[in-house]
Structure 1
Amino acid sequence: MAYIAKSFYDLQATNLEGEKVDFNVFRGRVVLIENGRYPRRLVVLGFPCNQFGYQENCKNEEILNSLKYVRPGNGFEPSFTLFQKCDVNGKDTHPVFAYLKDKLPAPDNEPAPLISDPRYIVWNPVHRSDLSWNFEKFLIGPEGEPFKRYSKNFLTINIEPDIQRLLKLTK
């Protein structure tokens, strides 16, 4: 079983430049784990994963060029912190996702994550709280408490009311 941190601020992850990022640097800010362009008091963290249809089969050092020239292409450069590829499910679950799934076992807008085709389950053990596909999103409040989990089908733009609510709590 993966280690589950007691607090979001106890976590760390390695970014694409190979630097360890201690999540204490995000203290007092709202954190969305996904992608986009947001106000300064909102931090966006992206975690590539290859567990869903092998959609992220690049090596870590290839991910930025893939984004820039292939998908989405057209010179795209992320304006958010992008971390190294990691597992979000199974025995090698990254501590960030072990913590988030422990605190928020299912998206608010779905009864439980479901994977429609069992051929896509390439990890073990399987848990009901597992992410069902890429682009699930987690919103973290300014005190480091996971606030809400959103399914892959929930449009990121529709998270804005929750983000605005949490931003009002920041100083």
Structure 2
Amino acid sequence: MGSREKQWLVPVVLFGLLQLSFGDPDKQVCPPSSGTIYDYGATTINGWEHINLGQYAGKTVLIFGLQEPGNNHEILPTLKYARLGNGFVPNFQLFEKGDVNGRKEQGLFTFLKNACPPVGENFGNPTNRLFWEPFKGSDIKWNFEKFLIGPDGKPVMRWFPRVNVSEVRADILQYLQKYNS
């Protein structure tokens, strides 16, 4: 092996080891954080009540964002009669729509994005493609990016939207088994 090849060997090996340390780019385990979701609240989708997320203390919570073209008052009837239909009513709390990226992002999502490493591939060139500013690498990239929150209110895991629901479910069940044992 010549000296030129040896020059590249160390950086290539280090790059490979660095990539291994990051694991699956589509899901990330969140490092310990100093804050909790209990420091935040949200308004119910009907606008009638502001709920302190501290009411979920001791429970495992899954937080996700869904892009929805309708207004807040249109969402539940759409779920019940049109999109899912057959009288579907969610058995979980829905909150008002709000920004998850940019200058007007909700504080809860600022906390979650700072607490968990980003997932998925890069946005690519954000020029003329994104509708918010400022752009940050930790931003939520698309609908159904998910955050698992432990019973202590601290983020546990983050998933990119394209991760199969069966994999998310398996990760959650594994976490619950570990936490409850």
TM-score by length of 2: 0.71
Q: 2:46–2:72: 8 Å Cα contact kept in structure 1? A: no
- Pick from 134, 158, 166: which aligns with 1:149? 158
Matches of 2:111 and 2:100, distance apart in 1: 11
Displacement after TM superposition at 1:157 (Å): 2.6
Q: Is 2:30 the counterpart of 1:21?
A: no
**Shift >6 Å, 4+ stretches:** none
Q: Is 2:110 the counterpart of 1:80?
A: no
Task: Identify the range of structure 1 (7-16 vs 155-164) with the bigger mean alpha-carbon deviation.
Answer: 155-164
Displacement after TM superposition at 1:147 (Å): 0.6
Q: Which runs of 5+ in 2 are unaligned?
A: 1-33
Matches of 2:97 and 2:66, distance apart in 1: 5
Q: 1:14–1:84: 8 Å Cα contact kept in structure 2? A: yes
Residue of structure 1 in register with 2:101 after alignment: 89
Matches of 1:100 and 1:57, distance apart in 2: 24
Q: Which runs of 5+ in 1 are unaligned?
A: 35-46, 50-55
Matches of 2:76 and 2:125, distance apart in 1: 30
Residue of structure 2 in register with 1:125 after alignment: 134
Structure number with higher helix proportion: 2
Residue of structure 2 in register with 1:159 after alignment: 168
Task: Identify the range of structure 1 (18-27 vs 68-77) with the bigger mean alpha-carbon deviation.
Answer: 68-77
Matches of 1:118 and 1:72, distance apart in 2: 35
Q: 2:59–2:151: 8 Å Cα contact kept in structure 1? A: yes
Give the count of matched residue pairs.
Answer: 146
Residue of structure 1 in register with 2:40 after alignment: 11
Summarize the Cα distance change of 1:116–1:137 in structure 2 as closer, same or farther, 3 Å threshold.
Answer: farther
Partner-residue secondary structure (3-state), 2:148: strand
TM-score by length of 1: 0.75
Q: Percent identity?
A: 38
Structure ID, larger Rg: 2
Residue of structure 1 in register with 2:81 after alignment: 69
Matches of 1:113 and 1:31, distance apart in 2: 27
Q: Which digits, 9 at most, give the CA deviation of each residue in 1:24-74, with x for residues without a partner?
A: 11111111113xxxxxxxxxxxx544xxxxxx2211111111112222333
Q: 1:113–1:130: 8 Å Cα contact kept in structure 2? A: no
